[in-house]
Every structure is written in C-alpha cells, then in structure tokens.
Amino acid sequence: KQEVTQIPAALSVPEGENLVLNCSFTDSAIYNLQWFRQDPGKGLTSLLLIQSSQREQTSGRLNASLDKSSGRSTLYIAASQPGDSATYLCAPKAGKLIFGQGTTLQVKP
Amino acid sequence: DTAVSQTPKYLVTQMGNDKSIKCEQNLGHDTMYWYKQDSKKFLKIMFSYNNKELIINETVPNRFSPKSPDKAHLNLHINSLELGDSAVYFCASSQGSGGVGYTFGSGTRLTVV
C-alpha cells in the first residue's frame, strides 16, 4: 500500500527565499508523480508532472525532481513570493493518485 | 470556460437525508474521479470512471453511489447521510487513467448536522 509523506507539514519564509519541499513514498513502482497546489477553499491545480522515466521537470520558478528508486521527490521554489502561499501536495501514481497530506507554505512580504 | 464544474458548492443537510452532488467537465477527458478531503486535509480517492465504466471503487460505504450518464458527467449520490460524511468532495478529470492533464473542480463542502 502506497504511503506518501511530505515534510515539512508547514513552512513560513520571508519573500525572496528559495525553498525545498520534500515528498517521500513507499512504493517506487509508479507511472508518474504530480505536484499540486491547493489554495484555501479551492480545488487543486496541477503544477508539474514527472513521468517515471524522467528525473525532473521545470515550470517557471518551480522545479520538481524525482528519484524513483529511493522513493523521493522534491519541489524547489525559487525567489518565493507572497502569491506562492498555498498548500502543496505531491501525488505519485500507480493505478491511482495517492496524495500526501501536503506542506502549507506561507510567504511573508 | 473549459473546466470541471461541480454543484452545489456548499451543502448543509440533516443526518439521514439523501443528497446528490453533480459534476461536469467540458475538457473532453475520458476519465473522471471523486475524491474526499477530510478535516485533516487528507485527500483520498473514492471512485474513478473511464468512459462511463467504473474502474476504481475504493472502500467506500455503499451509501455512496456514483453515476456516470456519459463521459462528461459523474454524479455522486449519498444515502442516509451521517455526521462522518462531512467533508469537502472534489470531482476531477483526466485524459486516460495515466493522470495526464489532471483537473480538479473547486469542491463541494458537505456539512451534515
């Protein structure tokens, strides 16, 4: 049974900092892994999708890496902004998406 | 707008009632899902349909019954509502079961009193 852990559970940083969110999963037999963002009271927005054969994906200030063999993924956010404040969820997929509990990020101006 | 839309956004109801949540997507996706997010923010899949066929049915009480009249719609009917059913329910869709282009609706907050 896939279990997904995200560390830290919460993070508060000043604007402009670079930061790393961590995700670990127990079953490395995955098809892909996605990172999502959830704003309060809203649905999820897909940020990045990494196929199992890929090592990383980049979109703007976001970079996600995947080490399938060790069951780890990281989401790197460069030059954080207050608008980045949200909960970030990782979800490896093997048949179905299994979500971590998320990292709630607050970026202070 | 291309999106996954679900109604209602909020639903407050008494224990024992029966209620439905509707979901529609106009993205041309062939796979749709229902997720439940509890008070601790855990997001768990409940059901998945591909081209109107049920492909994932997690351990969900049989009071929950999904219905997919066509591949653009996936509704969720809940019988005999219980306090523990209070949660936010999210509909989502994707192209294929590989999860490409995963798009979520904005959620339905169900409160059972």
- Number of neighbours of residue A54 by Cβ within 10 angstroms: 14
Q: Are B59 and B73 in contact (CB under 8 A)?
A: no
Using pLDDT thresholds of 50, 70 and 90, give the confidence band for residue B58: confident
Percent of chain B with pLDDT over 70: 95
Q: Tell me the pLDDT tens digit for each residue of A23-59.
A: 999 998 998 999 999 998 888 999 999 999 999 999 9
3-class secondary structure, B85: helix
Between CA B56 and CA B65 the distance in angstroms is 13
Which residues in A lie closer than 8 A to residue B43 (C-beta atoms)?
Answer: 44, 89, 99
* Residue B52 neighbours by CB distance under 10 Å: 15
Mean pLDDT calculated for residue range B76-96: 93
**What integer is the mean pLDDT of A65-77?**
96
Q: Do A89 and B43 touch (CB under 8 A)?
A: yes
Judge whether B25 and B93 are in contact, CB under 8 Å. Answer: yes
Q: What is the spatial distance between Cα A46 and Cα B49, in angstroms, rounded to a whole number?
A: 20
**What pLDDT shows up at residue A67?**
96
Among the listed residues A3, A11, A37, the one whose alpha carbon sits nearest the alpha carbon of residue A108: A11
Q: Which runs of E-coded beta strand occur in chain A?
A: 4-7, 10-14, 19-25, 32-38, 44-51, 56-59, 62-67, 72-77, 86-93, 103-108
Q: Picking from A42-46, A53-57, A103-107, B32-36, which range would have the lowest pLDDT averaged per residue?
A: A42-46
Is 90 exceeded by the pLDDT of residue A62? yes
Q: Which residues in chain B are contacts of A32 at CB distance < 8 A?
A: 98-99
Which is nearest to B80 in space by CA: B14, B35, B23, B24? B14
